[in-house]
Structures are given as C-alpha cells and as structure tokens.
Structure 1
C-alpha cells in the first residue's frame, strides 16, 4: 500500500489537483487514472474519492483552476502599471506569458479535446470561459485604443490567433517571433 500523507482539506484538495494537472499534462485525460493521481498526490484512494467522486468532477475542477489562472493573468496584464501600458506592451506581455506556460497550455488543449469529444458540461464551461476572455480582451483593447465597433471581433480574432500560436509552439513548428506578431496586430487594429 502506498504511503499517504495527512493534511487539511484544502491541502489535500490542492495536492490532488497538482498531481492530476501534472499527470494529465503528461499523459492526457484518457491515460490518467484516479489511482495514478492518488499515488502521485500522496493521498489514499478513499481520500481522493472523498473530494472527487469521479474523474469528470476532478477534470471540471482542473478546468476551472486552469481557466482562473489564465484569466487572472489576462486581468493582471490588462492592469499592468495601473493601466498605463501601451496596447503593444499588453499584447507582448500576454503572448510572453501564455507561450511560456507549456505545461498549462498542454493541459488546456487536453481539456479542450475532452470537451470537443462530447463532454457537454465541459463544453458549456468553455463557452462561458471564452465569452469572459473575449470580454476581457475587448475591454483592454477599448481602454487603450478607444471605442471601436469591431473591438469584439478583434478580441475573438486575438484569442484565436493566440491559441493557434500555442498549438504551434507545443508542436515546435517554428520559432514564434512576437515582434512580427505585434506588427501584424498593429496593422489590423
């Protein structure tokens, strides 16, 4: 029997989430079992089941955690230097942050794959998340560039482009030159 550790409820929940995120980023959702997660987190299977009755419940928590991290980053970048950063600085900081988080990006793509594969609850969460991301990018764009009737469309385009670059980076397609991306975005804005 694996040796387990005792901890507070929040400690145990965080250990389980950390272990699950690591294993899913490494192996994918399908190839990660609750037994693997319990072992890596150092909690018993009973403790894991106390917090998460199913792998789906755990995946939902991971999706929420991951989305919250990305959303917090977007908000903090949007409020960079008390809102005095230029649009170019914000875009560069945003790309730098998201493109450097390989583990989180891999996990995000696994969760998107799970949603696309028919997990309706996860699809619903992603629709809500994307709407929030579009709004955050749109608000930041308007704050720095003034009102623009196309701001929402530009925000959707920006998020789509970013996800495309994340995918390319994970596949090691080509080095991504953020300065060239900025020039192109400036031409479009």
Structure 2
C-alpha cells in the first residue's frame, strides 16, 4: 500500500512539474514552486527528488517514452529503424513547434546537459531493443554519433527561425548525418529511409501524440 501511495505521489509531482515547465521553462521553475503546486513541503519533495535535475531527467524519460510508444502504431511499426528514428525526432520537434508549452519543455531538455545525455541513452537503449545495435559498429562510435546529432540538432531547433528550418528538415539532417557520417550507410539507402518516414508521417495525426503526452502522468 505504501509503495502504491509513493508511486501516486511521484506521478503527481511529475505531472505538476511538467505543467510548470510548460508554463515557465526549466530556468524559471524551482523546487519550492513544484512543492507548492503539489501541496507538499519542499523537504518531502526532496525525499523523492533531492535535485531538480533528477526531476527533469524523469520528465525527459517519460516524454521520450511516450513518443517512442507512438512508433508502435500500425503506420510505423513495420518501418526500418532509421525511418522510425527520423519519425521519433520529427515528432518531438514538431510537438514543440505546434505547442508553445511543449516547446518550453523541449528547450529545457536541449539546454540541459543531463537531459541531452538521457535522450542519447534512451536512443541507445531503443536501438538495442530494435535488435540493430550490434550491426551499427562499435559502441563508442554509435554513442559519439548519437551525442553529436542530438546536440547539433538541438542547436538547429533553437535557431530554426533564424535558419528558416522546420522539424522535417532538422530531423532529416540529424538522421542523414548519423547514417552517413557515423554508420557509413550509402546514399541510396539513406534516401529510401527518409522517403519511407515522410510517407508514413503523412498518414499520422499529430493530435494522437498530443493527447498521449498530456496524459502521460495520469496512470
């Protein structure tokens, strides 16, 4: 019973943190604000999350997991891993472009080194789950590649208005760079991968993912 209560409390804290991040961005949210919104003391909050970075890491994990789950829908599940990677990145960035609150969350992720590392780790674990990690090259090579495209892609996203880029173009750049520079995959395969991803995205309703993200701390 105590374990269930702790799980419910943790979800409430995460939900309230996500709401505050959407409204204010990470730099303008304090532990005290999260505690107040959750109706608990700061000391009790810190018994669950001693530091704000730990909270942000959990937010990142849940946010990315919600997006990854969307890749299991009928339109996506039969695609190759790199097409799914393109779609995964696109959906995260497009959510930020379409929703001002989610954009604050995305920018919070992109401006925090720990969050970027967590994104890279989630990607790495996902490649293992997809069963392709062993075909990609040595582990360090893949990790460097993931770190590079996430950091560089994040910079492009933040400067997208200045550079006149959208989520589709940025996700193209990130996946093409990973496949060509770090995995030495030939251009024809890359073009096929990107094309398949774009075709699948045309059939996908972004509102489906929006609802999933809004409800990700409800259960």
Same fold (TM over 0.5): yes
Q: TM-score, normalised by structure 2?
A: 0.51
Give the conservation status (yes or no) of the 8 Å contact 2:89–2:171: no
Task: Please list the CA deviations of residues 68-89 of structure 1 after superposition, one character each: whole Å capped at 9, or x if unmatched.
Answer: 4314534763x56585213564
What does 1:2-81 correspond to in 2, within 5 Å? Answer: 8-41=5-38, 43-45=39-41, 48-53=42-47, 56-71=50-65, 73-74=67-68, 77=71, 81=74
Structure 2, unpaired ranges of 5+: 186-219
Distance 2:116 2:156 in 1: 19
Q: Show CA shifts across 1:131-164 (max 9, x none).
A: 4424534875947xx9354872654454345433
**Backbone CA RMSD of aligned residues:** 4.3
Gaps of 5+ in 1: 1-7, 116-122
Matched residue, 1:107: 105
Task: Encode CA deviations 1:152-184: one digit per residue, 9 max, x unaligned.
Answer: 265445434543343245x67534162685488
Hey, what's the Cα distance between the residues in 2 that align with 1:149 and 1:114?
A: 28
**Counterpart position of 1:178:** 168
1:98-152, Cα deviation, whole Å (9 max, x unpaired): 113324553354356455xxxxxxx4x7546524424534875947xx9354872
Distance 2:122 2:170 in 1: 27
What is the TM-score with the length of structure 1 in the denominator?
A: 0.57
The 3 A distance-change label for structure 1 pair 58 and 179 is closer
Alignment CA distance shift 1:52-1:174 (3 Å): same
Q: 1:75 to 1:39 in 2, by over 3 A?
A: closer
For 1:127-142, list aligned pairs within 5 A.
127=117, 130-134=120-124, 136-137=126-127, 140=130, 142=132
Contact 1:16 1:37 in 2 (8 A): yes
Distance 1:65 1:83, change over 3 A: same
Q: Is the partner of 1:21 in helix, strand or coil?
A: helix
SS at match of 2:135: coil
